[in-house]
Amino acid sequence: MTRMLNALKKRLARCCAPLQGTRVSEKDALRYARLFKALGDETRIEIVSLLANAGKELCACEIEAHFDLSQPTISHHLKILREAGVITAERQGLWIYFKLNRPCSGDMADFMRLLK
């Protein structure tokens, strides 16, 4: 068997056919990763579930009251959720109210559509 045939055989033995098609853009990959990173923490999932269950906006102190964590720690988690677009914040006098930003589930739906 010639060397050429060996090379051909090796190519046929490839594990996968070559791929075409495009991957998600780097920009979208970053966007999705940021959203999921924000949700990838047990405390933050519970904050989100608290807001979802309340069905209304809650001030930071109410949220804090449900956790065994310091005020700055909860403030930090709220900031991460806010920056990822999962929640929004609005000051009313002395309090700052947080609520779910429902459009964010649009991003998640986009991602699920990607999965087909």
Closer of 50 and 60 to DNA (Cβ):
60
**What's the token pair of residue 113?**
């559509």
Provide the 10 A C-beta neighbour count for residue 18.
5
Q: What are the respective helix, strand and coil percentages of the chain, to the nearest 5?
A: 60, 10, 30
Distance in angstroms (rounded) separating the CA atoms of residues 9 and 3: 10
**Residue among 7, 8, 24, 69 that touches a second copy (CB under 8 A):** 24
Does residue 40 touch DNA according to CB under 7 A? yes
CB of 44 to a second copy, least distance (A): 8
Per the CB < 8 A criterion, the answer to whether 89 and 97 are in contact is: yes
Report, in Å, the least distance between residue 31 CB and DNA.
14
Q: Which of residues 60-89 bind a second copy (CB under 8 A)?
A: 61-62, 66
What distance lies between CA 31 and its chain's CA centroid?
8
Give residues in contact with a second copy (CB under 8 A). 15-16, 19, 21-24, 26, 29-30, 32-34, 36-42, 44-46, 48-50, 52-55, 58-59, 61-62, 66, 94-95, 97, 100, 102, 105, 108-109, 111-112, 114-116
